[in-house]
Amino acid sequence: MASTPEVVVFGAGSIGCYVGGRLAATGATVRFIGRERVVAEVRAHGLHLTDWQGADLKVPAADVRIDTGPEALSTADLVLVTVKSAATEEAGQTLAPRLKPGAIVISFQNGLHNAAVLRGLLPNHTVLTGMVPFNVAAQGQGHFHAGSEGTLEVERHAVLAPFVDAFTRAGLALKQHADIVAVQWAKLLFNLNNALNALANLPLKEELSQRAWRRCLALAQGEALAVLGRAGVKPAKLTPLPPGWIPVLLGAPDAVFSVLAKKMLAIDPKARSSMWDDLHAGRKTEVDYLNGEVVRLAHQHGVSAPVNSRLVELIREAEAGQRRQWTGEALLVDLKKAELANRG
């Protein structure tokens, strides 16, 4: 491996540009591969990376190595895969004939099974599961803003040693886990709110300040926790409260929730979910890899998940141009109706 390892971001969208940009801004050798829209934007404006704590880093356009083609993969020591989950198989097929021996791959994607898909296509490479717990929103003109707290989570492995310092310098220290599946499920429980945020058409902080929306999330999380219990899966504890207590907190009156939530997770007023961003841009969402995962696991264990099934259905309708904006009260009634119909 070179004295200065080369990192390639494959799928330079909001997450990829933010993580790779912070690495590049703090001295790492980074190359980006993305779609034409993002490539043109970054070539014109460079990268501007900010976060909810006040971080403000820039990489001038002349210093950003970004392209649409896969040529950069041939010299990569570490590839960060940040494409949408539906594009994972295509990504693996692109990587397979181009990666040099010893190149390492980390899947920093939503969903649970992307790293496994990549492993199947890259049998001669180390592929690790990673997780990005914070929200990143594209602000335009190469500006990407992380609107909530969290650090990068990744499967523990000795091959990460040469890269740890670079991530730490970037303010993105890698938190390594022996049981990354438990961490993924814990993150997915929070990400069940992505569909709600998209249907609310509100910033995350404003949405979660309203009890009706939180009660919708409590229904989705409570159902998911019941399914996980049936499957024998114990999600990791990512906040001061155990996962099983969070639906109770979500249902608390606004005044109580606002005090307790500040101790759990910081969110700034700009933050919105990636699913809101996808709907707003007319792209297909990742709802099948979030709420859909709960539905699939439920079916595998002979139970149903009517709340999360209904949310998948509503997002699919929104993708097709149907109703895209709800009140929390109206959606709560709708989800309870789905739950009741399932019992009947």
d(CA 285, CA 208): 21
By C-alpha distance, which of 309, 337, 332 is closest to 215?
332
Asked if 34 and 16 count as a contact pair (C-beta separation under 8 A), the reply is: yes
Question: What string of pLDDT tens digits covers the 344 residues of the chain?
Answer: 446 899 999 999 999 999 999 999 999 999 999 999 999 999 999 999 999 889 999 999 999 999 999 999 999 999 999 999 999 999 999 999 999 999 999 999 999 999 999 999 999 999 999 999 888 989 999 999 998 888 999 999 999 999 999 999 999 999 999 999 999 999 999 999 999 999 999 999 899 999 999 999 999 999 999 999 999 999 999 888 889 999 999 999 988 888 777 665 667 777 889 999 899 989 999 999 999 999 999 999 999 999 999 999 999 999 999 988 899 999 999 999 999 998 86
Model pLDDT, residue 112: 95
Report the 10 Å Cβ neighbour count for 301.
Answer: 13
Domains in the chain (CATH in brackets) are 7-178 (3.40.50.720), 181-341 (1.10.1040.10)
Give Cα separations from 270 to 41, 50, 131 (angstroms). 21, 11, 21
Model pLDDT, residue 264: 58
Model pLDDT, residue 2: 47
Model pLDDT, residue 160: 97
Model pLDDT, residue 270: 75
* Rg, Å, the chain Cα set: 20
By C-alpha distance, which of 80, 87, 78 is closest to 19?
80
Report the 10 Å Cβ neighbour count for 300.
Answer: 11
CB under 8 Å to 332, separation ≥6 — which residues? Answer: 212, 215, 216, 219
- Global pTM reads 0.92
